Structure 1
């Protein structure tokens, strides 16, 4: 079955031409075959863990022990971490959740320095991903299991049930992609995944008028994508005075925080829709679903969540703020054990044995800040994924940040890498201007350091324009 799970996971990442050629065949398969037995088992276990703390605690402990055994047996880096913290004679087959606090918190820097010693399998057998560096930090390359998507789908689809979504529903996807292989296309239909994919860059009113017709034609009831993109879509709908013939039932936000003003704009355009956001990480270390507005409950079968203060001590007082630390269970090839997510939150309820380790938090402040550029005509441009995720793209820069004070113009404020040259910065500027397609021009500003906020966070865009005017 693992081969089928790998194939299911690989489909999403396959080249566009191959995907288009096999999608019609996949779309003819029953949904039970498309998702598979592993998916169905995870959906049952997720539901069981939610109502049975004893089952949740037992399953979480079992998952932790399996991860620890793999890490200690196959990774020299993690073997050393456990030996230093717990002693070389410690039996990881008997590790308890409470033992985790004895391990040091793991950072991106630790994993960069460890290299392949942090892996439990050869890199060629894993999938290499990287964070985009969209807070201005250096992109972070990491590895995940090839078959993890099936398990992840189970948690995502479970979270979306809050909005009434079921796995056979059609979604309209508003994300940052252009249509690969056809840069002039604004949309594509993905039959195997039941997705209508829409380009959100730069997403003009004319684009939205077309998108409304496409959504109406397929009677789609769920919008999925970046909150900033969905909000912009709804702003254009209000300006156009358009409504859907088949009312939208639910909003399935991803990748960004969902703010109250965005909920208000979306509801003004679409009516009293349900929202089903979740919190997740590219590194697959943690997953939480929203259970009330801006309150999230972590799923311990996916990964164990901790909230610690700036000194690494557990946060136990409701209302207190801390850093989110995660130990992920659904991918073992590069274990993330007590991993510093760099995100912050306020505690609502600590995870304990009594509640099955289901910690609840509110006001999650992610490392990745959403934002907009304002184009030369006053149009909003969704900034998520505007810079490419390939670390090589920003070769020559160690940190960067965008600053905008005038429509259609922005500054790339950057700290040069040790081997960085002016030619690197000029190459980056030219590539971003080409991507902006006449809507934005960029000016370079080299600095010695970039300013941070009081909690060490740095906005992706230092946006100085009044967005209420655009």
Structure 2
């Protein structure tokens, strides 16, 4: 494990106050030092794989074999699973791609039950993380390699490079509600990352006017953030009849599906700005980039992981245009292996992985488990749920399941199922957290329930939204 790679990731994930203290010092470091040798070597591998399908296929298979060997050697859970599926004594150094399908598909519940037995390395080498998705399923706590960030950013910057963005280029960031606990800080400059961070909640027309001044002052030409926030900013620019003085060269979209109407709004305000979109998971299992010239179509990177599309019975989807569930085996973070992990997301098949395409599964119409929904504030503003609920595992302490219900702007009912033996203070803390994250613009009420209603297919929406969203 590289100490500097761990430190780089720790900076990005550190609290805002710590970043503000360290940023001026880190800004003095040359770009090569800030990103490091691991990042550069992975950029080279990714670029080579993009041009050479033979190299991509060979790396893909070697990474799969290495992952299963590591899982078998270090994880009691995976050792038992692999031996049951492939037989004791199976030579994993000779594993073929087809052999992987003999292993079971693993759900969150299975891995949650396995607990630390699923880890292949000591827990001290890992970071704890959590994901909640778009439903009210129990929170899923998992573990990631501490030194993962340099490798991950190599994939991200490779995708961004296709629209001309690089490590030395400044960007404006549209993500997150506010930049401090009071909600009064609307913007800040991070010199270490050359990033102008803007508060996107509530982001009024006046805020947008001020943000344009900041963008113009720094001559920033790349946008980065939630599509919903960038869409709102474009709507405000249209009201203001104003755009940045320097033409916007590109936009790096994250965390949400980019809908056709959002692409159109951006085009109508800023012209034909190239968009860079990718698909990823909190568990770091799969990574796919949008195919140039084919909005909504994605190709999975074979160096990051192995992607499968399976039907309801767990069998491979082989017919073009058919829908299935995305199952992933991850190569990026392997301390807690994810082998044939059911992502909960769905997609339609475009092209199966093969030798000619470098083992890249191609799909379209990806439907993430985390659907983008909104709560509405009293003044008609929209709160993006992907940021409403924190990623940290502590948010769900004492809460087994929850769901937001809204039928009035500015008010939301939280229906929740408490964990057995949980203190009432856990639910009160949840409300306090949400009030702070929305700067008090939504009033939350609590209601403990025995169960939460499911929709079609048994899926429980994080937000049961009864408002006419076309009005907001």
TM-score, normalization by structure 1: 0.94
Supply the distance in 2 between the matched residues of 1:247 and 1:66 (Cα, whole angstroms). Answer: 46
Supply the distance in 2 between the matched residues of 1:423 and 1:51 (Cα, whole angstroms). Answer: 56
Supply the distance in 2 between the matched residues of 1:251 and 1:459 (Cα, whole angstroms). Answer: 29
The answer as to whether partners of 2:312 and 2:324 remain within 8 angstroms in 1 is yes
- In structure 2, the residue matched to 1:100 is 100
After TM superposition, give the deviation of residue 303 of structure 1 in Å: 0.4
Within a 5 Å distance, the mapping from 1:138-287 to structure 2 comes to 138-180=138-180, 183-287=183-287
The answer as to whether partners of 2:170 and 2:194 remain within 8 angstroms in 1 is yes
Q: Return closer, same or farther for 1:33/1:426 CA change in 2, 3 Å cut-off.
A: closer
- In structure 2, the residue matched to 1:73 is 73
Q: Return closer, same or farther for 1:22/1:408 CA change in 2, 3 Å cut-off.
A: closer
After TM superposition, give the deviation of residue 301 of structure 1 in Å: 0.2
Q: Return closer, same or farther for 1:425/1:36 CA change in 2, 3 Å cut-off.
A: closer
1:332 counterpart = 2:334: yes
Q: Return closer, same or farther for 1:181/1:191 CA change in 2, 3 Å cut-off.
A: farther
Which of 448, 451, 455 is residue 449 of structure 1 equivalent to?
A: 451
- In structure 2, the residue matched to 1:5 is 5
The answer as to whether partners of 2:169 and 2:194 remain within 8 angstroms in 1 is yes
Supply the distance in 1 between the matched residues of 2:277 and 2:331 (Cα, whole angstroms). Answer: 21
The answer as to whether partners of 2:181 and 2:436 remain within 8 angstroms in 1 is no
The answer as to whether partners of 1:132 and 1:391 remain within 8 angstroms in 2 is no
Supply the distance in 1 between the matched residues of 2:399 and 2:116 (Cα, whole angstroms). Answer: 24
- In structure 2, the residue matched to 1:58 is 58
- In structure 1, the residue matched to 2:26 is 26
- In structure 1, the residue matched to 2:385 is 383
The answer as to whether partners of 2:177 and 2:437 remain within 8 angstroms in 1 is no
Unaligned runs of 5+ in 2: none
Moved more, 321-330 or 188-197: 188-197
- In structure 2, the residue matched to 1:109 is 109
Moved more, 389-398 or 75-84: 389-398
Unaligned runs of 5+ in 1: none
The answer as to whether partners of 1:400 and 1:412 remain within 8 angstroms in 2 is yes
Moved more, 80-89 or 45-54: 45-54
Within a 5 Å distance, the mapping from 1:432-443 to structure 2 comes to 432-443=434-445
After TM superposition, give the deviation of residue 426 of structure 1 in Å: 4.3
Within a 5 Å distance, the mapping from 1:281-296 to structure 2 comes to 281-291=281-291, 292-296=294-298
The answer as to whether partners of 2:405 and 2:415 remain within 8 angstroms in 1 is yes
Supply the distance in 1 between the matched residues of 2:352 and 2:175 (Cα, whole angstroms). Answer: 33
Supply the distance in 1 between the matched residues of 2:270 and 2:451 (Cα, whole angstroms). Answer: 43
Q: Return closer, same or farther for 1:20/1:461 CA change in 2, 3 Å cut-off.
A: same
For residues 106-127 of structure 1, the C-alpha deviation after alignment (integer angstroms, 9 at most, x for no partner) is 1211221111111112212211
Supply the distance in 1 between the matched residues of 2:114 and 2:403 (Cα, whole angstroms). Answer: 28
3-state secondary structure, aligned to 1:385: helix
3-state secondary structure, aligned to 1:114: helix
- In structure 2, the residue matched to 1:35 is 35
TM-score, normalization by structure 2: 0.94
For residues 32-83 of structure 1, the C-alpha deviation after alignment (integer angstroms, 9 at most, x for no partner) is 2222222222112212212222111100011111111111111111111100
3-state secondary structure, aligned to 2:50: helix
The answer as to whether partners of 1:136 and 1:460 remain within 8 angstroms in 2 is yes
3-state secondary structure, aligned to 1:306: strand
For residues 133-183 of structure 1, the C-alpha deviation after alignment (integer angstroms, 9 at most, x for no partner) is 552222211111111111111110111123222222111111125325775
After TM superposition, give the deviation of residue 332 of structure 1 in Å: 1.3
Supply the distance in 1 between the matched residues of 2:65 and 2:182 (Cα, whole angstroms). Answer: 47
The answer as to whether partners of 1:296 and 1:361 remain within 8 angstroms in 2 is yes
Q: Return closer, same or farther for 1:345/1:196 CA change in 2, 3 Å cut-off.
A: same
Supply the distance in 2 between the matched residues of 1:440 and 1:333 (Cα, whole angstroms). Answer: 40
Moved more, 126-135 or 347-356: 126-135
- In structure 2, the residue matched to 1:468 is 470
3-state secondary structure, aligned to 2:386: coil
After TM superposition, give the deviation of residue 10 of structure 1 in Å: 1.9
Supply the distance in 1 between the matched residues of 2:317 and 2:140 (Cα, whole angstroms). Answer: 27
Moved more, 346-355 or 410-419: 410-419
- In structure 2, the residue matched to 1:14 is 14
- In structure 1, the residue matched to 2:404 is 402
